[in-house]
Amino acid sequence: MTLFTGLSAFPLTPTDDNGQLKPELLQRFLERIMAAGADSLGLLGSTGGYAYLTPEERKRTLRTAVECVAGRTPLIVGVGALTTDVAEDLARDARQAGADGLLLAPMSYQPLTDEEVFRHFEAVAAAGELPLCIYNNPGTTKFTFGPDLIARLAEIPNVTSVKMPLPADGDYAGEMQRLRAVTPENFSIGYSGDWGAKDALLAGGACWYSVVAGLLPEPALALTRAAQAGNVAGVERFDHAFAPLWALFREFGSFRVMFAISEILGFGGITPPRPILPLDQACRGRVEDALRPLLQVAA
């Protein structure tokens, strides 16, 4: 459970116009996150654009990260793929390369059944032999993990965590209570969807799988630590500073906004993989405005 707790920061995977990794820039992102003190690094998640990269480029990205991290911070790597055999290969490669944990989403063109997802996770968990987090991301995969399936998956060796989307009714405590009733005691229940981090953490979520921490780790960590300490006023203060950025995440999608943040922070002109388009100049100005209170927190 300790692997999937606290703040897990998910950086972009910086590539050039030909889709080739920029290793030095990735290492700069990782060093910033580690210097801030995040609890783990989430490589090749949705923010890392894993779905747009070839398996070979994903393996190269992982090795670049492992070399940089050198065991200083736990490293979780996404191994989702359209087919089970590719996901198994990525999971085995992650273990061999030196990753500490796996993140698996059920990618598919065809809608999947619960049984298909169960068998997919069973195979990938066995291949990887590392602690594995269920990535429940219906916004992109169009598959929703219900409590019964999560309970069944939690019985598989190495499946130790779930990364949940924000509940539509906002009842974090109720959802966690229902999941804890059907999963082992040490099974970690965390959340993604950055604008819900405040409520998820205060309700007892074990981990914030954070997009924004990939580029702004200091204010994200400040919010996380305040929540862990039960400092409600502090959490509200940090969340208020984030509020303009949360609004942009909801409006444009966090993936697009993160590329704009990277440019504004001076990391150079990296662009999202086509067909995703970068934000226009007017929207970029709104991102700059939203960053000001957060950069004060970081300072």
Spatial distance between the Cα atoms of 185 and 30, rounded to a whole number of angstroms: 32
pLDDT at 299 over 90: no
Least confident interval from 15-24, 192-201, 206-215: 15-24
CA 74, 78, 84, 86 torsion-angle sign = negative
pLDDT tens per residue across span 151-166: 999 999 999 999 999 9
Q: Which member of 22, 59, 109, 163 is catalytic?
A: 163
Spatial distance between the Cα atoms of 210 and 54, rounded to a whole number of angstroms: 24
Spatial distance between the Cα atoms of 243 and 127, rounded to a whole number of angstroms: 41
pLDDT tens per residue across span 39-71: 999 999 999 999 999 999 999 999 999 999 999
Amino acid at 162: V
| Residue 261, domain member (yes or no) | no
Which residues, at least 6 apart from 145, have a Cβ–Cβ distance to it below 8 Å? 117, 134, 136, 153, 162
In 3D space, the residue among 92, 87, 77, 131 whose CA is nearest the CA of residue 107 turns out to be 87
| Residue 145, domain member (yes or no) | yes
| Residue 277, domain member (yes or no) | no
Spatial distance between the Cα atoms of 200 and 172, rounded to a whole number of angstroms: 6
Amino acid at 9: A
Percent of the chain whose predicted confidence (pLDDT) is above 90: 95
Residue 198 designated active-site: no
Quote the DSSP letter at residue 157: T
pLDDT at 169 over 80: yes
Binned at pLDDT 50, 70 and 90, residue 18 comes out as confident
* Domain range for 96: 6-216
Residue 191 designated active-site: no
Query: Rounded to 5 degrees, what are φ and ψ at 224?
Result: -60, -45
Binding-site residues for pyruvate sit at 47
Binned at pLDDT 50, 70 and 90, residue 1 comes out as very low
| Residue 154, domain member (yes or no) | yes
CA 173, 165, 11, 297 torsion-angle sign = negative
Percent of the chain whose predicted confidence (pLDDT) is above 70: 99
Q: What is the CATH number of the domain that holds 93?
A: 3.20.20.70
Binding-site residues sit at 47
189 is written with which tokens?
């229940």
In 3D space, the residue among 207, 254, 209, 250 whose CA is nearest the CA of residue 227 turns out to be 207
pLDDT tens per residue across span 65-111: 999 999 999 999 999 999 999 999 999 999 999 999 999 999 999 99
| Residue 199, domain member (yes or no) | yes
| Residue 254, domain member (yes or no) | no
Question: Any alpha helices (H) in 165-271, and if so which ranges?
Answer: 172-180, 197-202, 217-228, 232-252, 254-264
pLDDT tens per residue across span 185-196: 999 999 999 999
pTM: 0.96
C-alpha of 57 from chain center: 19
Q: How many domains does the chain have?
A: 1
| Residue 238, domain member (yes or no) | no
Q: What is the mean pLDDT of the chain?
A: 96
Which residues, at least 6 apart from 192, have a Cβ–Cβ distance to it below 8 Å? 137, 163, 164, 165, 166, 208, 209, 210, 211
Q: Which member of 22, 50, 59, 135 is catalytic?
A: 135
| Residue 75, domain member (yes or no) | yes
